[in-house]
Structure 1
């Protein structure tokens, strides 16, 4: 009997959020979710911190100058278990589509760069955090932990996600490859900052990182990339000519790549909002793996191995005696960030050591 492989249509977003407006951005997200589902997509992927928008102010001036946006940014970041979060989960269920949302997650008094994977039933598959915020992002966000480098078994195959320059972290990528990832979401904020003056921040390098991830990991890669709107520039730059030279309108370069590195989506112009689509046939992965599987037959574990520690980095561990079990500390309502992997591979893979 020939084994079946999932075949489905996927969509990746190229659009600006309603900047610093959580409810407005969720309204827009639901519209995009409905559009993707109407076009037959079973998966839709959103850019990095699309809710409520990437905090471009951290790149435009000093931290002291950027403080004018901080309270508004916190107030419009998503709290899991809240009414806005429930709206998003309901949209996934109502449209029978998996949603991978990039968001600024608010937990207690801290923010994290999150990716929320919601299945077609509206259930949380994972709520991961970016392991290491990049450069000035660390003035805003906290860090994730080893549990955030996990691939999850779903009805659409084995799905994983990383943010932005996590795709320039070789060991983090290898940790994902070793878990037999089949569909990867590579979320990017926009490529409209410092145009021409910082090549490493541009579309060429970063789209290349998404393409290489597809080739190295032999998986499909959805690379949603946001745009910067004129309204965002007005909010952040005002009439300051220097800032307006740093942050430009547009910057969207969304793409979808096959396991052999081909771009299989039709591109949109960088300033145009919309969705890009591709047909994903997971049976193609076997052909790519036959050539080179860096965490399998193409590995040399006797020479190099990865140590992957998935221990959750809980900030507070509450312990209590059994006799006092009825006295518990109140904890914020949110979905379990560290859902169990339904088919863990890294724990048994000969080239990955998990402690």
Structure 2
């Protein structure tokens, strides 16, 4: 690991999940972390919902059909393979990261007990180099057909974290198009923005540079890759999915832009693996000289954002002592 506090060695994990298989995908993630550890990566980032995978079936099996056994069975299969943090589903990943002194942003499909333990959320988890889960951001607004299987999250995970000289935060997929959540991270000092995606290049090629130019920050976009070959044979209603699905469901598109809005790493497509890049904090201050969206180029006396970061629940218990 580099001792230079101004530089950060990144690993962009552009991998496919073992689709809807929590155990096998966890093993693949751990193998990926171990490989990145050999390259002394300090921060590794995985795509949106990679554990255990994106709900691709919704677009190819009449996902909005009411009361269809196809949709119910696939949703139940998804729930059975979703991540329950309270049950220790991320413990092995956390311990592996700790063994390499590596931090991580990991996209998961979460089945949290604080919301009853039956509904699903697309969550972005930050794990520090001590293997500690420091934030879990549940996607605020699932996009279009995602709403048929994912629930809307809350603002609790709109948090940033110190990582050497950097202040890092992250959002899920099309949340990155939402100006106010972005602004909430900028206001906390974010200068390294993590944008996670299921894929593909059409998602990352414009917004990666746009956010970097708007925020004068580094932006790291990480996507998964996915083809029909990545569907396990034991997937419920597999033939129905394959009948309509394109061969390539996600082509990657992972990329990095610098604080000047220019690509440091142009989108990588149709390639599975780990992409490495070292970034240097020094360029952040250079680009903040003429624009800082929450500093000298803000007017809080005119416009001001209020953020509710309370973890939402349907019940509050007050037990007698």
Tell me which residue corresponds to 2:244. 243
SS in 2 for 1:279: strand
SS in 2 for 1:127: strand
- Superposition pairs for residues 182-201 of structure 1, below 5 Å? 182-191=191-200
Return closer, same or farther for 1:267/1:204 CA change in 2, 3 Å cut-off: closer
Q: Is the 8 A contact 1:52 1:104 kept in 2?
A: yes
In structure 1, runs of 5+ residues without a counterpart are 192-202, 326-355
SS in 1 for 2:313: coil
Establish whether residue 47 from structure 1 lines up as the match of residue 77 from structure 2: no
RMSD: 2.2
Tell me which residue corresponds to 2:261. 261
SS in 1 for 2:176: helix
Give, in whole Å, the separation in 2 of the partners of 1:156 and 1:110. Answer: 37
SS in 1 for 2:85: coil
Number of residues of Structure 1 aligned to a counterpart in Structure 2: 306
Shift of 1:105: 0.5
Establish whether residue 82 from structure 1 lines up as the match of residue 87 from structure 2: yes
Give, in whole Å, the separation in 1 of the partners of 2:79 and 2:302. Answer: 46
Shift of 1:249: 4.7
Shift of 1:275: 1.3
Tell me which residue corresponds to 1:336. none
Q: Counting strand residues as a fraction of each chain, which structure ranks higher?
A: 2
CA displacement 1:229-275 (0-9 Å, x = unmatched) = 33245757637776134x6255111112211122223654x222111
TM-score (norm 2): 0.88
Establish whether residue 18 from structure 1 lines up as the match of residue 18 from structure 2: yes
SS in 2 for 1:187: strand
- Superposition pairs for residues 309-320 of structure 1, below 5 Å? 309-320=308-319
More off after superposition, 160-169 vs 52-61: 52-61
Give, in whole Å, the separation in 2 of the partners of 1:251 and 1:68. Answer: 27
Match of 2:227 among 219, 229, 240: 229
CA displacement 1:332-352 (0-9 Å, x = unmatched) = xxxxxxxxxxxxxxxxxxxxx
TM-score (norm 1): 0.80
Shift of 1:85: 1.3
Q: Is the 8 A contact 1:265 1:277 kept in 2?
A: no
In structure 2, runs of 5+ residues without a counterpart are none
SS in 1 for 2:167: strand
Tell me which residue corresponds to 1:304. 303
CA displacement 1:145-194 (0-9 Å, x = unmatched) = 12222222344632211000001111111111111102221000022xxx
Q: Is the 8 A contact 2:17 2:230 kept in 1?
A: no
Return closer, same or farther for 1:83/1:149 CA change in 2, 3 Å cut-off: closer
Q: Is the 8 A contact 1:12 1:256 kept in 2?
A: no
SS in 2 for 1:116: strand
Tell me which residue corresponds to 1:59. 59
